[in-house]
Amino acid sequence: MSQPSNPPTPPAVPVDALRTALGDATPVVAPDDDGYHAARAIEPGGVEQRPAAVVRPADTDAVVRAVRVARDAGAEVSVRSGGHSVFGLGAADGALTLDLRDLDSFELDVDGRTAWAGGGITAGAYSRAAGQHGLATPFGDTGTVGVGGITLGGGVGLLSRSLGMTIDSLLGAEVVTADGEVVRTDADHEPDLFWALRGGGGNFGVVTRFRFALHEVSQVVGGVLLLPATPESVARVVAAAQAAPPELTMVVMVMPAPPMPMIPAEHHGGLVVMANACWSGPLDQADTALAPLRDVAARAGGALLDGLRTAPYPSLLEGGPEGGPLVATGRTFLADGLDEAAAAYLLEQLEGSDALMRAAQLRVLGGAVSDVPADATAYAHRGARLVGNVAAVARDAAGAAGYTPWVEALADRLRGAEGAYVNFSLDGGLDAARAAYPGATWERLRDVKRRYDPQNRFRGNVNVPPA
Ligand SMILES: Cc1cc2nc3c(=O)[nH]c(=O)nc-3n(C[C@H](O)[C@H](O)[C@H](O)COP(=O)(O)OP(=O)(O)OC[C@H]3O[C@@H](n4cnc5c(N)ncnc54)[C@H](O)[C@@H]3O)c2cc1C
């Protein structure tokens, strides 16, 4: 998206020099070329980015050559992996966009329980490949999200309370830095860079390969339990999710029921709680662990749908929203929980809004996420027990913008703690960066940025300016 003010024009991307450096094997797509529209497209609707050139490297060497051309020209580099950045920074205006989707390798060491994965693989492709061996690395709840973006921001998902955030399973990375050098980093090599990659976003270079730990996760009990939304039921579902053993993680949506075939027609449009649960403990203990959730449903008049079932873990990441013409606006917040008064306010607001779609998402954390010290990685909000989002959807960007004051006010009311989870921030401005990275984390990130990207070549992200 264009900036409101008129910043100085950044150095142009030298398209001819890129073509010479990359050769025929790696096409460079510029605005006048056929295929430019498809090459710059990203997942979220309504985001129109116009990079100066899009390159789709097939290996680390091509990334190095492209980054060196950008370095010599002083041009900005933006990185696209799964393309799910909700404000489209993976393809920044005027930048050289590196589209990593062909870096989708997956090399598994079954005995060692580790894998090297390409910087452009999706969470779904990774999880399906690992799942064939009964293994998993925790990502989010949607398979089409890129491993690159979710990992570098932190990664919260259906295994967070049992196995921690994605970054807690990151063992190392191969990074092409702003000066075009290939660096291997882990806890023992360039440890400050490794610290910064675990939550600091795409600020520090192009990650061409990630090395992850894998965990034994085969069959889980998961899926969606749907129940009528009342202030009591919303607050009780959140409380049950927080009180559950760490092997149970829940992502709770509160929204008007969409007209999906799996939801009885008479409930379409009525406010519902959609609890997306994943039990990754022993299967014979699942019913006991899920009993409090089912009990809340019973007290609310009965579940409208009980889709909780034993299933292979990767199947829980399938489906999810399609990219398309609809445009969303939203705000994220942290909280310790959600009481009945806050739930009543939330339902009142969802009921009163005329947005095409509107929802609150409440991700209950704690468990293994909070076991890691706040300064161990660049994700500093380890104590936050709930990460939330509120969103409204319209047919176009102008319509969505009209709902921004509404989502802001609602998020302000539900917010219980300072800060934000960077992967849910809806802009890349300084306020978003400061919310994501408080105090000492901010200072340390700026120092690492100064060492690895002093010219701020990688600024298509929630940007940390060099110290
Ligand atoms: C439908 C949907 C569901 C989501 N679900 C979850 C969820 O369950 N849990 C969660 O934590 N988040 C979730 N997110 C948020 C998601 O983690 C972020 O939007 C993330 O940035 C997307 O990563 P991406 O690679 O798909 O996006 P991209 O737009 O391709 O990349 C986003 C940014 O990440 C950086 N980046 C990506 N790959 C690399 C790389 N290899 N090297 C260097 N920089 C890189 C770049 O700065 C880029 O601008 C969801 C988002 C959507 C739209």
CB-CB contact of 319 with 224 (8 Å): no
Least confident range from 12-26, 79-93, 397-411: namely: 79-93
pLDDT in tens, 69-97: 999 999 999 999 998 887 777 777 888 99
- Which pLDDT belongs to residue 319? 77
pLDDT in tens, 137-148: 999 999 999 999
- Which pLDDT belongs to residue 260? 83
| Pick from 95, 102, 192, 182: nearest CA to 148 | 102
Helical axes 15-22 vs 60-73, angle rounded to 10°: 150
> Hey, which of 70-84, 89-103, 105-119, 251-265 has the most confident mean pLDDT?
105-119
Q: How far is the CA of 149 from the centre of ligand 1 (A)?
A: 3
| Pick from 15, 436, 457, 394: nearest CA to 199 | 436
- Which pLDDT belongs to residue 281? 98
The mean pLDDT of 12-17, rounded to a whole number, is 90
Average pLDDT, whole number, for the chain?
Answer: 93
| Residue spans of beta strands (DSSP E) within 229-295 | 248-256, 271-279
- Name the residue of 56, 85, 103, 210 to mutate for ligand 1: max ligand atoms within 8 A of Cβ: 85
By CB atoms closer than 10 A (0-12, 13-18, 19+), residue 312 is middle
Taking 90 as the threshold, does the pLDDT of residue 322 lie above it?
A: no
pLDDT band with cut points at 50, 70 and 90 for residue 387: very high
Report the distance separating Cα 377 and Cα 448, nearest Å.
13
Lookup: tokens for 164: 């921690």
Taking 60 as the threshold, does the pLDDT of residue 5 lie above it?
A: no
Rounded to the nearest 5 degrees, what angle is found at the Cα of 411, between the Cα atoms of 387 and 93? 85
Rounded to the nearest 5 degrees, what angle is found at the Cα of 321, between the Cα atoms of 317 and 324? 145
Q: Which atom of ligand 1 is nearest to the CA of 156?
A: 11
Taking 90 as the threshold, does the pLDDT of residue 246 lie above it?
A: yes
The mean pLDDT of 129-152, rounded to a whole number, is 97
- Which pLDDT belongs to residue 39? 87
- Which pLDDT belongs to residue 41? 79
For ligand 1, whether the C-beta of 158 sits within 6 Å is no
Q: How far is the CA of 57 from the centre of ligand 1 (A)?
A: 19
- Which pLDDT belongs to residue 21? 96
Q: How far is the CA of 80 from the centre of ligand 1 (A)?
A: 9
The mean pLDDT of 19-28, rounded to a whole number, is 94
**What is the distance, to the nearest Å, from the Cα of residue 433 to the centroid of all Cα atoms in its chain?**
15
In which residue are the tokens 């739930």 written? 343
For ligand 1, whether the C-beta of 457 sits within 6 Å is no
The string of DSSP codes covering 84-121 is --TT-GGG-TTSEEEEGGG---EEEETTTTEEEEETT-
pLDDT in tens, 194-232: 999 999 999 999 999 999 999 999 999 999 999 999 999
Phi, psi for 358 (deg, rounded to 5): -150, 145
Taking 50 as the threshold, does the pLDDT of residue 3 lie above it?
A: no
**What is the distance, to the nearest Å, from the Cα of residue 198 to the centroid of all Cα atoms in its chain?**
13
Residue 443 CB coordination number (10 Å): 11
The mean pLDDT of 170-182, rounded to a whole number, is 98
Q: Which atom of ligand 1 is nearest to the CA of 139?
A: 9
The string of DSSP codes covering 162-204 is HH--GGGGEEEEEEE-TTS-EEEEESSSSHHHHHHHTTSGGGS
Taking 50 as the threshold, does the pLDDT of residue 308 lie above it?
A: yes
CB-CB contact of 286 with 244 (8 Å): no
Taking 70 as the threshold, does the pLDDT of residue 10 lie above it?
A: no
For ligand 1, whether the C-beta of 119 sits within 6 Å is yes
For ligand 1, whether the C-beta of 145 sits within 6 Å is yes
Taking 70 as the threshold, does the pLDDT of residue 1 lie above it?
A: no
| Full set of structural domains in the chain with CATH | 15-102 (3.30.43.10), 106-216+431-452 (3.30.465.10), 219-424 (3.40.462.20)
The mean pLDDT of 239-268, rounded to a whole number, is 93
For ligand 1, whether the C-beta of 159 sits within 6 Å is no
pLDDT band with cut points at 50, 70 and 90 for residue 4: very low
- Name the residue of 98, 150, 197 to mutate for ligand 1: max ligand atoms within 8 A of Cβ: 150
Taking 80 as the threshold, does the pLDDT of residue 335 lie above it?
A: yes
CA dist 31 → 13, 15, 81, 158, 351 (Å): 12, 10, 20, 40, 44
pLDDT band with cut points at 50, 70 and 90 for residue 424: very high
Taking 90 as the threshold, does the pLDDT of residue 248 lie above it?
A: yes
- Which pLDDT belongs to residue 92? 79
Of 2 and 346, which is predicted with more confidence? 346
pLDDT in tens, 353-384: 999 999 999 999 999 999 999 999 999 999 99
- Reduced to 3 DSSP states, what percent helix, strand and coil does the chain have, rounded to the nearest 5? 35, 25, 40
Report the distance separating Cα 91 and Cα 25, nearest Å.
21
Q: Give the strand order in the sheet containing 206-213.
A: 106-109, 114-118, 206-213, 170-176, 182-186
CB-CB contact of 141 with 125 (8 Å): no
Taking 50 as the threshold, does the pLDDT of residue 406 lie above it?
A: yes
Of 45 and 42, which is predicted with more confidence? 42
- Which pLDDT belongs to residue 86? 72
